[in-house]
Structure 1
Amino acid sequence: MSATVADVLAVLDAAYPPSLAESWDAVGLVCGDRHEVVDKVLVCVDPVRATVDEAVEIGAQLIVAHHPLLLRGVHGVPADSVKGSLVHRMIRGGIALFCAHTNADSADPGVSDALADALGLRVLRPLSPHPDGTTGIGRIGELPEPEPFARFVERVGGALPETRPGVFGAGDPDRPIRTVAVSGGAGDSYLAVATEAGVDAYVTADLRHHPAGEHLERGAEVPALVGLTHWASEWPWCGQAAELIRGAGNVEVHVSTRCTDPWNLRA
């Protein structure tokens, strides 16, 4: 039996409840008809030209993205604007767009669970939990055995898709790493939380110079840092979401491997 857009969205809303989204966020169905039949779905991090192109190429009727397309208030989507052109192209192509953002970040399991799993960590608890103790931003996990920080950075690099900026570490190369905090997406606002948790290392994206530098100046006892690009840190979630969608019925699901980081050159 064919699935509809509504069937797929019901599965995703159950896994990533909209109530978990931050008040400033924009999640859910962006464009498309809930009653349309879906036999192909594309899952990606970013709803941008490259992934909309991919959806058209494979004949997908639905894009499931992590990042919202229209996060800030808009007064129009003219076809000659960047985002408006995507909306028009999707509508003309019969492609619906659904976004699960901070609700997928906080869900159990969610974005950071997928990142932790990719790194071989056993998840213990959220990094910044909600009152229920099971949902929340980030995760704290542990490795099966301690390993030197230099080897752990190599582990991270080998587990995630390659990007131009790559993976970078800040800390004593010989420091034993066992407990690790992870947060998919920009996570330097949780540096103090990771420190309070007493973990050996913290893995996140978009680490800024001053917050990272001030963190490390606190001494050898603070967590070592592993920096990623935003796309790489959240890409493992695509596989998690794809497995959920496959349970919605007779649906073929593709996970986009097109890197949508803005960085494409390195000197």
Structure 2
Amino acid sequence: MAATGRELMARMEQLSPSALAVEKDRIGLQVGNPDAEVKGILLALDVTEAVVDEAIRLGTNWIIAHHAVLFRPLSDLRQDRPAGRLFAKLLKHDIQVYVAHTNLDSAPGGVNDVLADKLGLTNLRVMIPTHRETYKKVVVTIPKDHHEAVLQAMCEAGAGWIGNYSHCTFNLLGTGTFRPEEGTNPFIGTQGALERVEEVRLETIVPSRIQSRVVQALIDAHPYEEPAYDLYPLDLEGPKQGLGRIGRLEHPLSLGDFAGRVKEAYGLSHLRSVGNPDIAVTTVAVLGGSGGRYWQEAKRQGADVYITGDLDHHTALDAREAGLCLLDPGHHVEHWVLEPLKQLLVNSGEWEEKQIYVTSVNTNPFQFV
């Protein structure tokens, strides 16, 4: 059976949890039907009419975009105007639009990790922490013969991750007792008789945000009519998550040479630079999109240079006077996240590679002349 939009959105929620988005960010399903079958997926930075035409040509009916298609309030939907034409075309061709914005910026493996990795930065840390994962311990007892099925179902739903290790569980063999009373339909035993069953006690960890999904997977896979399980809150906190990354170069470079590395890594012909091109750069902060407001935080955390887009004149002056170098590669470099996002979706096993496309449309409105 083909996957539905709800399944696609659930996968995107795993990859870029909505809890990571900044307040009032416009994310999630913005156009279309959440129950629409996923016939194909087009990944794009922006949703323009050219991108929609590409989706129609490819036969894809879902667009996953980084920037919201509904961002500013609309005063009308006239089809003789650009916005009206765009939304009319989306609705006419039954194309759904799902947006992952600052949540994809902040998520592990998201925009800022991709941008930092392309520069070869090491010892990465989050620059603007906005969230820390909380965890629960889930404990369930399972008949021995069904233990493996329940374990796999829970871990596939997202339980059991510690760092880069999956399927982390503890299992202890024991004896469970129960007596089915009137009105029950027991998987094992008969009404009125005390049963003793060889069971496995399974313990694992689950992020609080997905506990309901893991519990449902447990219930669906468990053979008992009413499986017994416990959830315990843990003081353990996960790693910091949030906007921007700070890391180090393996070897110091001059600002001029490092600017050349940034241009090569991001496929740019030009970028804007603030600071003495001969100054040595070791510690680098990067934040995809418009991050000018955070330059002081980059400076406070020891960055020699801060890479972000859409810098204005006065921000550049203030940062230079404070001794922080700046590199502005533009906003559009965020598009480098699209190919890694495609691979994450393919690796989920729910969609074939031929069903997922990265847009070939260049939506960058700026050109160097």
Q: Name the TM-score, length of structure 2 as normaliser.
A: 0.66
1:153 to 243, 259, 262: 259
Tell me the equivalent position of 2:87: 87
Tell me the equivalent position of 2:56: 56
Cα separation, 1, equivalents of 2:75 and 2:275: 47
Q: Tell me how far 1:36 sits from its aligned partner.
A: 2.5
Q: Tell me how far 1:125 sits from its aligned partner.
A: 1.0
Question: In the superposition, relative to structure 1, how do residues 255 and 128 fare at CA in structure 2: closer, same or farther (>3 Å)?
Answer: same
Tell me the equivalent position of 2:275: 171
* Mapping of residues 74-113 of structure 1, within 5 Å: 74=74, 77-113=77-113
Tell me the equivalent position of 1:242: 342
1:210 to 314, 317, 328: 314
SS of 1:235's equivalent in the other structure is: helix
> Is residue 228 of structure 1 aligned with residue 320 of structure 2?
no
Partner letter of residue 143 of structure 1? L
SS of 2:29's equivalent in the other structure is: strand
* Mapping of residues 10-159 of structure 1, within 5 Å: 10-74=10-74, 77-122=77-122, 124-132=124-132, 134-159=240-265
Q: Name the TM-score, length of structure 1 as normaliser.
A: 0.89
Cα separation, 1, equivalents of 2:296 and 2:337: 25
Q: Tell me how far 1:24 sits from its aligned partner.
A: 2.1
Query: What does the per-residue CA deviation read over 1:92-122, in whole Å, with 9 as the maximum and x for residues that have no partner?
Result: 1121111011111222232111111122222
Q: Are the aligned partners of 1:146 and 1:177 in contact in 2 as well (CA < 8 Å)?
A: yes
Q: Which segments of 5 or more consecutive residues in structure 1 lack a partner in the other structure?
A: none
Q: Which segments of 5 or more consecutive residues in structure 2 lack a partner in the other structure?
A: 133-238
SS of 1:143's equivalent in the other structure is: strand
Q: Are the aligned partners of 1:198 and 1:223 in contact in 2 as well (CA < 8 Å)?
A: no
Q: Percent identity?
A: 34
Tell me the equivalent position of 2:362: 259
Cα separation, 2, equivalents of 1:209 and 1:154: 22
Question: In the superposition, relative to structure 1, how do residues 104 and 131 fare at CA in structure 2: closer, same or farther (>3 Å)?
Answer: closer
Q: Are the aligned partners of 1:231 and 1:259 in contact in 2 as well (CA < 8 Å)?
A: no
Q: Are the aligned partners of 1:104 and 1:111 in contact in 2 as well (CA < 8 Å)?
A: yes
Q: Tell me how far 1:123 sits from its aligned partner.
A: 5.0
Cα separation, 2, equivalents of 1:75 and 1:263: 26
Question: In the superposition, relative to structure 1, how do residues 169 and 257 fare at CA in structure 2: closer, same or farther (>3 Å)?
Answer: farther
Q: Tell me how far 1:51 sits from its aligned partner.
A: 1.4
Pick which of 70-79 and 180-189 moved more: 70-79
SS of 2:362's equivalent in the other structure is: coil
Q: Are the aligned partners of 1:118 and 1:159 in contact in 2 as well (CA < 8 Å)?
A: yes
Cα separation, 1, equivalents of 2:5 and 2:46: 19
Cα separation, 1, equivalents of 2:78 and 2:343: 35
Q: Are the aligned partners of 2:48 and 2:86 in contact in 1 as well (CA < 8 Å)?
A: yes
1:180 to 284, 308, 311: 284
Cα separation, 1, equivalents of 2:361 and 2:252: 33
Question: In the superposition, relative to structure 1, how do residues 208 and 103 fare at CA in structure 2: closer, same or farther (>3 Å)?
Answer: same
Q: Tell me how far 1:171 sits from its aligned partner.
A: 2.0
Question: In the superposition, relative to structure 1, how do residues 78 and 14 fare at CA in structure 2: closer, same or farther (>3 Å)?
Answer: farther
Cα separation, 2, equivalents of 1:248 and 1:228: 35
Cα separation, 2, equivalents of 1:173 and 1:212: 15
Q: Are the aligned partners of 1:29 and 1:99 in contact in 2 as well (CA < 8 Å)?
A: yes
Question: In the superposition, relative to structure 1, how do residues 177 and 25 fare at CA in structure 2: closer, same or farther (>3 Å)?
Answer: same
SS of 2:326's equivalent in the other structure is: strand
Question: In the superposition, relative to structure 1, how do residues 140 and 121 fare at CA in structure 2: closer, same or farther (>3 Å)?
Answer: same
Partner letter of residue 361 of structure 2? R
SS of 2:240's equivalent in the other structure is: coil
Cα separation, 1, equivalents of 2:271 and 2:54: 26
Cα separation, 1, equivalents of 2:128 and 2:34: 34
Aligned residues: 260
Cα separation, 2, equivalents of 1:93 and 1:82: 17
Instruction: Return the structure number with greater strand share.
Output: 2
Tell me the equivalent position of 1:196: 300
Partner letter of residue 138 of structure 1? G
Q: Are the aligned partners of 2:20 and 2:130 in contact in 1 as well (CA < 8 Å)?
A: no
Cα separation, 2, equivalents of 1:20 and 1:250: 25
- Give RMSD over aligned pairs: 1.9
Partner letter of residue 36 of structure 1? A
